[in-house]
Amino acid sequence: MKTGIQDIDTTIDTALEAGFRHIDTAHAYKNEEAIGKSLKRWFDSGKIKREELFIVTKLPSSGNRAENVEKYLKQSLENLQMTYVDLYLIHQPIGSFPELDSDGNRVLDPNTDHLSIWKAMEAQVDAGRARSIGVSNFNARQVKRVWENARIKPANNQVELNLFFQRKELVAFCKALDVTICAYSPLGAPGMRIRKHKGDPSKIDMPITHPVVLKLAEKYKKTPSQILIRHSIQRGVVVIPKSNNPERLKQNIQVFDFVLSTEDVYELDFLDRGEKGRALQPFGAMSKGRAIAFQRSEPGRQRGFRHHAATSPLARPSTQSNKHPGIQTRFLDIKSDSA
């Protein structure tokens, strides 16, 4: 299901009125222009100022070359009707060629060079087009290589993370480097799981319907989604749960009025299943066809990538204006598909 311009207007309006301030999008989501128009209405009305928002967008995989970084960021800024973004991410660790093959598959670029791309990303900070820069879908080895060679350190790594796929090692590794973790699909992508199994949602094994989560929802008088969101927040993870439903958006931000006990956090921690807990394929499916996957042994080179789209909002202004707002964030997620 595609998110139309009118839907984005409704979602943005509901989110900003509820207190969301962090908006996460990407060139690949094809909704930057609609988001830009929607936000301009708010800016023109005087209800909110640009500096009150934390805007994130991403370099597409087809732009994973040093010479393309500035072009794509300028295009995103034009779409968003802004002069800068607060955080610019390399969306995928592997680049692709713009053209599809004869079978409609995306062809991956084996010569993706993280270090040259990163230097071009740093130049965007120098030019004032990005306040901070980071990565998405990078593993620990890839993060380390960029971090060790960076003049401007990566501020954030946005990855898939949910109750069944808690990524404890990656979270700890990034925290040690002062790289925040932002979780997409933090509810475990229930819509994706239901479509994948084509069964009764009540019988599909997923975080949002797990007995422990339901038990804690009853205990705290909260929704299962709120329990999952709160668990990630208490782990120090930024979360951007997807929802275009106004009522669920309002519920998703109502997670700052309770705290899970140490015992309850431990019980939820114990539900981690590692790689088996992924809701999405490693780097996922492309919007057209499937990526041709391959494995390279060189540092910083991996296979595949995924396509999704998002927005999220801040609870309070960050104390570090050039960094990802971390666990101070309140969150919203607008996606261009129904994952």
Residue 86 has pLDDT above 60, yes or no: yes
DSSP letter string, 109-122: ETT--HHHHHHHHH
Distance CA 154, CA 168 (A): 19
Residue 31 has pLDDT above 50, yes or no: yes
Residues 6+ apart with CB under 8 A from 177: 143, 144, 147, 153
Residue 51 has pLDDT above 90, yes or no: yes
The class (CATH top level) of 8-187+236-246+273-287+329-333 is: alpha beta
- pLDDT for 279: 86
Q: Which residue has the higher pLDDT, 6 or 299?
A: 6
- pLDDT for 292: 33
- pLDDT for 6: 60
Residues 6+ apart with CB under 8 A from 157: 134, 135, 136, 138, 143, 170, 174, 179, 180, 181, 182
Quick check: is 29 catalytic? yes
Buried/exposed code over 23-32 (b: 16+ C-beta within 10 A; e: otherwise): bbbbbbbbbb
Q: Which residue has the higher pLDDT, 314 or 237?
A: 237
The H or E element spanning position 34 is helix 32-45
| Nearest CA among 266, 339, 334, 303 for reference residue 16 | 334
Angle at 75 between CA 246 and CA 93, to 5 degrees: 80
* pLDDT, tens digit, 9 for 90 and up, residues 251-263: 999 999 999 999 9
* Across 20-27, average pLDDT: 95
What angle do helix axes 224-234 and 262-269 make, rounded to 10 degrees? 100
Residues 6+ apart with CB under 8 A from 52: 21, 314, 317
* pLDDT, tens digit, 9 for 90 and up, residues 262-280: 999 999 999 999 999 998 8
pTM: 0.84
Residue 1 has pLDDT above 50, yes or no: no
* Across 205-225, average pLDDT: 96
Lowest mean pLDDT among 4-8, 115-119, 120-124: 4-8
* Across 53-58, average pLDDT: 98
Residue that the structure tokens 């997620």 belong to: 333
- pLDDT for 61: 94
* Across 107-124, average pLDDT: 95
Q: Which residue has the higher pLDDT, 266 or 287?
A: 266
Q: Cβ distance 146 to 179 under 8 Å? A: no
Distance CA 19, CA 13 (A): 10
DSSP letter string, 54-85: EEEEEE-GGG-SGGGHHHHHHHHHHHHT-S-B
Q: Cβ distance 85 to 57 under 8 Å? A: yes
DSSP letter string, 134-164: EEES--HHHHHHHHHH-SS---EEEEE-BTT
* Across 7-16, average pLDDT: 93
The tokens describing 46, both together, are 């005087």
